[in-house]
Amino acid sequence: MIEGYEVPLHKALTEVILLAGVPRTLAFLLWTTASAIGFGLHQIWVVPVAAVAHIIFSLLAKRDPFFFEVFIRALKTPKQLDP
């Protein structure tokens, strides 16, 4: 590192973008699906279920904001390791 030079690293570049406490992509996926099923197919019971799921996901994201990224990566990894 060169003396006298500093590069500012903004906190927003390293944090997960949350939408109402849930990672943005998960919130979009959850509420788009819930609204399509709830209002498109007239199954209104899906909306309260999605609200409860949103609360559960927000509690998980509060504990660890990278939980969902790690979970997706764990699903993609091979289940058996080669020797």
Of 8-12, 21-25, 39-43, the least confident = 8-12
Q: Which amino acid is at 78?
A: P
Q: What is the pLDDT of residue 1?
A: 63
Q: Are 34 and 50 in contact (CB under 8 A)?
A: yes
Q: What is the pLDDT of residue 12?
A: 82
Rounded distance, CA 36 to CA 18, Å? 22
Q: How many helices (H) and strands (E) does the chain have?
A: 3, 2
Instruction: Give 38-79 pLDDT, tens digit per residue.
Output: 999 999 999 999 999 999 999 999 999 888 889 999 999 888
Angle CA(76)–CA(82)–CA(83) in degrees, nearest 5?
A: 150
Compute CA distances 58 → 13, 25, 32, 37, 63, whole Å: 21, 13, 17, 22, 9
Helix (H, G, I), strand (E, B) or coil at 36: helix
